[in-house]
Amino acid sequence: MWLLFLCALCFVLVVGAALFIRKTLLKDSIFSEDSLRPPAPLVTDEKQRDAVLKKGFRRDHIPADLDAVVIGSGLGGLSAAAVLAKAGKRVLVLEQHDQAGGCCHTFQNQGFEFDVGIHYVGQLHENSLLRVALEQITEGQLQFVRLEEQFDTVLLGRGSERRAFHIHAGKEEMRESLRRQFPNDTLAVDQLMRLMKVQNTARHTPLLACLKMMPLWLVRFLMRTKLLGRISCVFGLASSSHSHLMAKLTQNKDLTALSSYFFYGAPPRDSSFLINALFLHHYKRGAYYPRGGASEFAFHIIPVIQKAGGAVLVRAPVQRVLVNKEGTTYGVTVRKGQEEVEVIAPVVISDAGIFNTFQKFLPEEIQIKPEIQSLLGLVRHGMGSFLVFVGLDGSKEELGIVSTNFWMYKHNDLDQLMEHYSSLSREEVVGNIPMVFLTFPSAKDPTSSIRQPGKSCMTLLTMAKYEWFEEWKNTKLNKRGPEYEDLKMSMARELLDWALEIFPQLRDKIVFMDAATPLSNMHYLGASCGEMYGAEHNVARFSPDVVAKIRPQTPVKGLYLTGQDVFCNRMAGALHGGLLCASALLSPKIYIDLLQLKKKLKRKTARKKA
């Protein structure tokens, strides 16, 4: 039996490797440590930054002889464009907002700067794959600040019932700190950490990406013969309900809540154990924040795109993907005033999400094709987000604020919390918000005190259903009427009151407050139903079959997907979506080259330390 299995496995791997090599090898790697430059001084001049981040769309700004056009300038779109640029391709990125960056953009109001989507990032330790990839697409210009070892605090319950749990970075400290906090459940902690360990999840997780690069017939063969599960346990973990698996490890609801406290819309019973475990693992080697703020991502990626003759243009709302009679894309149209401008390119890459791409941009006769509808049937809209932006009078030291993030829940049954919250009508929301994420961006970035002296900012985040705000979807920004404003600000005040339970000293220091609903995400980010994390990250989405089917290539020749909907949510997921998209267009050798460079740099560092 085992001999038959090994023979079959060898056959599959040999055939798959042969297909990859025959179809995809590039002559030389596009990645090199020689492409990095010493970090330049932080640019704070607004005119200089606007020249990069806010270059407007005009006919004479469209580069000639484009190789590709990208819809959306989130990290998925920018990373795909940058990798293509490093391969010598001329790429135009089109952004409907007035500045580039997507969830990585920042905005200013009354002298305060707020980020909207990048709150902290992990796996950026020296020579990590994520760090190497970011260094390559920014030429080494993007710098990060490491946060405190205790990067997160999780608060379960309110008032006298509130219990605080602390999450620490460190290869061993994360486990040891949890063991100290759960002395009667050390075995469960050890089992959780064992499942998170590199050999069981992190090293095997790239196999999920491999499913998106393998021929679909090969994936189906591996599934049908049940070889997939024997190759790695990662596929089983990806398909496992988080709550169901944790119930096998422990009956401690506090520990169960901590294992899935990174909330993104899907309750633990409906989410993948692997994804939740990877979020914890993501910060095991430390949490980081971009030096200079979240807009530094776009600010340093765009010049790499420009160097190859490409451009990133804003105020460029794409209206349609152009498809010829043969069913092949040949460009897009952009609304400019009262007219539509055609932008011609043989490849169209969409970072606008799977729903916008297939339901908004494609001609109706293509939207209704069975292969398109089949892909849409695999996913559903993620939950919307609700953010509160608070401006504070005073420095970090004067206010006593910290770089640690706070995740607060009314109690420790996250499944019950989310089920009840999702069932509420609009009239029932205020007074029943069950969770909030609290963070101080200005306390994380040491340049904030230079760029906005004497000012600090706080961001609060919870999830919100699009349906609660759908009535006002056709109204204009800042003109949605008193009922909308009352709902928005009542929710905002509820979140603020919760935050002030933790930081009461801030009550008299608030000089500015505003909120963003799912409709704000639709306006600024182009999110189809106000989602911040794209298509819902439920457990069904991470079954091998769905993982393999949702890939950069689409049923429309020349049209590709990138970003969170291709791989996973948050910054790292969007970046890997961009790498997968570039790999589909260039070669799967993209990943191999990154890994080889990572190993080379690691050996070089080891020699220096020896």
Instruction: Evaluate whether 512 touches 179 at the Cβ level (below 8 Å).
Output: no
Indicate whether 543 belongs to any domain. no
What amino acid is encoded at 339 in this protein? E
The answer to whether residues 402 and 478 belong to one domain is yes
Question: Given 509, 525, 541, which residue is the final one in a domain?
Answer: 525
The model's pTM is 0.93
The whole-number pLDDT of residue 330 equals 98
* Overall number of domains in the chain: 2
**What's the N-to-C CA distance of the chain in angstroms?**
47
Q: Give the Cα separation of 588 and 510 in Å (integer).
A: 51
The answer to whether residues 464 and 586 belong to one domain is no
Indicate whether 343 belongs to any domain. yes
Q: Give the Cα separation of 541 and 225 in Å (integer).
A: 21
Indicate whether 3 belongs to any domain. no
* Residue closest to 536 by CA, chosen among 575, 569, 574: 569
Q: Give the Cα separation of 6 and 241 in Å (integer).
A: 30
The answer to whether residues 132 and 158 belong to one domain is no
Q: Extract the tokens encoding 498.
A: 């919760």
Indicate whether 536 belongs to any domain. no
The answer to whether residues 157 and 70 belong to one domain is no
Q: How far is residue 226 from each of residues 204, 493, 535, measured CA to CA in Å?
A: 17, 53, 28
The answer to whether residues 160 and 305 belong to one domain is no
For residue 27, give the 3-state DSSP assignment.
coil
Indicate whether 457 belongs to any domain. yes
The answer to whether residues 453 and 518 belong to one domain is yes
The answer to whether residues 415 and 330 belong to one domain is no
Indicate whether 221 belongs to any domain. yes
* Residue closest to 194 by CA, chosen among 280, 285, 258: 280
**φ/ψ of residue 322, rounded to 5:** -80, 130
Q: Extract the tokens encoding 518.
A: 């799912």
The answer to whether residues 227 and 157 belong to one domain is yes
The answer to whether residues 75 and 88 belong to one domain is yes
Beta-sheet strand order (sheet of 329-336): 318-323, 329-336, 339-344
Structure confidence by residue, pLDDT tens digits, 1-60:
343 344 444 444 444 544 444 444 445 789 999 999 999 999 999 999 999 999 999 999
Which value, to the nearest 10 degrees, does the dihedral of the CA atoms of residues 447, 168, 385, 106 take? 10
* Residue closest to 189 by CA, chosen among 118, 246, 271, 272: 246
Q: Extract the tokens encoding 448.
A: 């904030």
The answer to whether residues 297 and 275 belong to one domain is no
Indicate whether 114 belongs to any domain. yes
Q: Supply the CATH number for residue 327's domain.
A: 3.50.50.60
Q: Extract the tokens encoding 551.
A: 């890939």
**Enclosing domain of residue 48:** 31-136+291-378+550-609
The whole-number pLDDT of residue 203 equals 62
| Residue ranges for the chain with pLDDT beneath 50 | 1-15, 17-26, 199-200
Indicate whether 542 belongs to any domain. no
The answer to whether residues 353 and 367 belong to one domain is yes
The answer to whether residues 275 and 189 belong to one domain is yes
CA atoms within 13 A on the CB side of 445: 33
